[in-house]
Amino acid sequence: MQSQIIDPAKTELNHHHTATVVDPHHGGHPDHRLFGLVVFLIAEGMIFMGLFGAYLAFRSTLPVWPPEGTPELELLLPGVNTVNLIASSFVMHNADTAIKKNNLGGMRTWLAITATMGAIFLVGQVYEYTHLEFGLTTNLFASAFYVLTGFHGLHVTIGVLAILMVLWRSRLPGHYSSEKHFGIEAAELYWHFVDVIWIILFGLLYLL
Amino acid sequence: MTQATLQETDNIPVHPQESGERKWQDFFSFNTDHKVIGIQYLVTSFIFYCIGGVMADLVRTELRTPDVDFVTPEVYNSLFTLHATIMIFLWIVPAGAGFANYLIPLMIGARDMAFPRLNAVAFWMIPPAGVLLIASLVVGDAPDAGWTSYPPLSLVTGEVGEAIWIMSILLLGTSSILGAINFIVTLLKMRIPGMGIHQLPLFCWAMFATSALVLLSTPVLAAGLILLSFDLLAGTTFFNPTGGGDPVVYQHMFWFYSHPAVYIMILPFFGAISEVIPVHSRKPIFGYKAIAYSSLAISFLGLIVWAHHMFTSGIPGWLRMFFMITTMIIAVPTGIKIFSWLATMWGGKIRLNSTMLFAIGFVGTFVIGGISGVMLAAVPFDIHVHDTYFVVAHLHYVLFGGSVLGIFAAIYHWFPKMTGRMMNEFWGRVHFALTIVGLNMTFLPMHKLGMMGMNRRIAQYDPQFTSLNEICTYGSYILAVSTLPFIINAIWSWLYGPKAANNPWNALTLEWMTTSPPAIENFDQLPVLVTGPYDYGIEHRKQDANPELREVPL
């Protein structure tokens, strides 16, 4: 059969297929970007899993954790910051709901609030860094603390920038609508991801 | 079965400007066509193969005599470090990605990958990473802590070289992850209507399993390298015992990627061999589902065996038991594949061309590497031969005897599709003969050397090992020579070879149902599946004189 030509119109199998053959020409390429982002976030999540695993391994190798002489971590500011970040995820979701109702103004407002909350989180983190009594190389716990929170902070920064970019693009009329708003969904998904990672991180570093 | 041929004439592109003939500039530019990117991957990785091969021969030249007489021990350390790094990260991994890029959209009847631009970005991270790595030689501080870069050694051998190594691997890892995202989304979302997962060619299954491994394991290596770079550059002590850190944690993170990496390097070629053998045996593949799900099983098991590289690193006994057992279990899905290939060939009308020779060579030599792998999985034996040439022999049988022979089988098989030209058969056979002789001559004596206790990663050795080392070294020269007929054959055939038909091997998978080389968007009309991807011989039933038999659905 491989060498002889089969006319689909003459094969009894063909009618199963003709109905399903869609779009023989260019264009109708369905949007797989959100799915692609989910797959990407699995990889991102695995970086954090690697870091968390390493943290737990370091923790298990030392008899006392954090190592003796490590100053106590202040819980109030990071606690407030955690609540702030979790709350921002809900705020972000409102932006998505708004654009699905074609409410562009509402979407922009919610996005702006989310970005502000993200910025507050980052400011809080920098404030905490500058007021801690240990530095990057003080001991194993300190190093892990700075690298883990810093790597997460980098992701928050990227998230804030993504939200700002969506805000900037939304100034163009018709750029986002109830049918077409991948940018908002992507930024939201990423933001939730960053949020979930922080909850684990907070539990590991501050509470455990 | 339900599927896979299409009307060949329908897919000959009607637009003459889209004849699939690419200008040479396209291959040097940021092009988003998956076929251009696939060839970019393959050619780039082959260039790095040659560079890594030169380094291997320099290493072997040093080892021809027991004394240090060819390069200094420091240079020797850099050479084997760069050899391994290049062969793994710049040759075999990207070569697999190259075939995947070229073949996946064609095999599933798509016009391109899901994210063509991301695809190009992934490729274009590779040349800078490779140049960066090789530039370390020019800087004069090449990485020399082995491709494993274990701390604390890697923290004291040279800051610049190590930093370059880390940066290069991070780039290559990112490229690999971006590629995997593309493969997964393309395979799951872009198949033509009517192609269920059980109508997918086995190469696609293999690439799905590979991509899942890349996605789950590469980021953990990245995390380990981030921590390592802090140790190296910022003075932290994550992996430095003098500051309370634990080097074994690095080993866990490293092998959490680098063991799956061996499956990332072999699964694509398991897939390619599963395509090659049925086509050239003119028989349906034996055990389609067994092979398909074995890929997934290998992928899953591959994630939970990493610590068998660390049996001598002081991990607890119960953990060694666990990793020994899981490692041995991997031989089961692998064995299923081997026996399925043998059963496919059994009684087939085998065409013993270069493709099939390399495929048969692959099965044979890979089995040797597979068996020594099961030996190494046994903790007592592993402790005995750890860090000896036995390990070097094993890994080269699976990576050279496996992956590299698989790459060559795949090149001979798909060259007509990719270039529209046939390769020269005679020189292909010469290439095969030299390769199989060279590879066994180089790597077989290493088993004996390892059993005798010769350490790996040393420039100087006890004179009692001399004669075996000489055999290895001369074998490696044969291997170097063996690539010459291939290079000349490939270039000459690409330019002047006889024009290839659209389907020169009479294959049934969809990539053969378009022009050679394929048009820019692959298919003018979406292919219609009428047979399964491996229904060789089954078509005779349709042509049977008996009209009742003719009605039997495929």
Residue A117 lies in a domain: yes
Q: Do B224 and A43 touch (CB under 8 A)?
A: no
pLDDT category at A174 given cuts 50, 70, 90 is: confident
pLDDT category at A29 given cuts 50, 70, 90 is: low
The nearest alpha carbon in chain B to A62 belongs to B244
Residue A6 lies in a domain: no
B234 touches chain A (CB under 8 A): yes
pLDDT at B20: 55
**Element at A63 (helix H, strand E):** none
Residue A16 lies in a domain: no
For residues B378, B381, B383, B384, the Cα torsion angle rounded to the nearest 10 degrees is: -170
A24 touches chain B (CB under 8 A): yes
The nearest alpha carbon in chain A to B236 belongs to A137
List CB contacts of B397: < 8 A, sequence separation 6 or more: B365, B366, B368, B369, B372, B443
Q: Out of B193, B234, B551, name the one closest to residue A22 (CB).
A: B193
Give the residue with greater pLDDT, A157 vs B4: A157
Q: Do B220 and A50 touch (CB under 8 A)?
A: yes
Are the C-beta atoms of residues B107 and B61 closer than 8 Å to each other? no
Architecture per CATH, domain B9-14+31-550, reads as Up-down Bundle (1.20)
Residue A5 lies in a domain: no
A12 touches chain B (CB under 8 A): yes
Decide if pLDDT at A2 tops 60: no
Residue A22 lies in a domain: no
CA distance B136 to chain A (A): 27
A64 touches chain B (CB under 8 A): no
Residue A19 lies in a domain: no
A9 touches chain B (CB under 8 A): no
What's the rounded Cα separation, in Å, for the pair B523 and B77?
50
pLDDT at B16: 42
What's the rounded Cα separation, in Å, for the pair A28 and A79?
48
**Element at B15 (helix H, strand E):** none
How many domains does chain A contain in total? 1
- In our burial notation (b when 16+ CB lie closer than 10 A, e otherwise), range B490-505 reads beebeeebeebbbbbb
B547 touches chain A (CB under 8 A): no
Put simply, the chain A residues between 73 and 102 with a CB less than 8 A from any chain B CB are: none
- Over chain B (554 residues), the average pLDDT of each successive run of 10 is 40 46 83 94 97 96 94 94 96 97 95 94 96 90 92 91 96 97 96 90 97 96 96 94 91 96 96 96 94 96 94 90 95 96 94 96 96 95 95 96 96 95 96 97 96 94 95 97 97 94 92 89 83 77 43 40
Average pLDDT, chain A: 86
Chain A residues whose beta carbon lies within 8 Å of the beta carbon of residue B253: 50, 53-54
Q: Do A13 and B216 touch (CB under 8 A)?
A: no
Q: pLDDT of A50-79, one tens digit each? A: 999 999 999 998 888 888 888 888 889 999
- In our burial notation (b when 16+ CB lie closer than 10 A, e otherwise), range B277-304 reads bbbbbebbbbbbebbbebbbbbbbbbbb
pLDDT at B538: 74
> What ipTM does this complex have?
0.89
Residue whose C-alpha is closest to residue B178's, from A37, A183, A191: A37
List helix spans (H) across B378-465. 379-385, 389-398, 405-419, 425-452
Q: Out of B219, B253, B526, name the one closest to residue A21 (CB).
A: B526
CATH number of the domain that residue A97 is part of: 1.20.120.80
Q: Do A24 and B237 touch (CB under 8 A)?
A: no
Residue A21 lies in a domain: no
Decide if pLDDT at A21 tops 70: no
The token pair at A133 is 């009594």
B551 touches chain A (CB under 8 A): yes
Question: Mutate which of A5, A20, A39 to test chain B, going by most B C-beta atoms within 10 A?
Answer: A39
CB burial of residue B71 (10 Å; 0-12, 13-18, 19+) = middle
CB burial of residue B162 (10 Å; 0-12, 13-18, 19+) = buried
Q: Do A2 and B507 touch (CB under 8 A)?
A: yes
**Radius of gyration, alpha carbons of chain A:** 24
Are the C-beta atoms of residues B115 and B159 closer than 8 Å to each other? no
Put simply, the chain B residues between 478 and 507 with a CB less than 8 A from any chain A CB are: 503, 506-507
Put simply, the chain B residues between 517 and 546 with a CB less than 8 A from any chain A CB are: 521, 524-526, 528-531, 539, 542
CA distance B295 to chain A (A): 20
Residue whose C-alpha is closest to residue B92's, from B136, B127, B135, B41: B41
How many contacts (CB atoms, under 8 Å) link A and B? 163
pLDDT at B539: 55
User: Can you give the residue range of the structural domain that contains A134?
Assistant: 33-207
CA distance A105 to chain B (A): 31
pLDDT at B198: 92
Q: Do B7 and A43 touch (CB under 8 A)?
A: no
User: Could you identify the residue written with the tokens 């797989």?
Assistant: A32
The nearest alpha carbon in chain B to A44 belongs to B219
The token pair at B232 is 């190296």
Decide if pLDDT at A12 tops 80: no
Residue A3 lies in a domain: no
A135 touches chain B (CB under 8 A): no
Map out the domains of chain B as residue ranges: 9-14+31-550
Q: Out of A20, A48, A139, name the one closest to residue B244 (CB).
A: A139
List CB contacts of B346: < 8 A, sequence separation 6 or more: B286
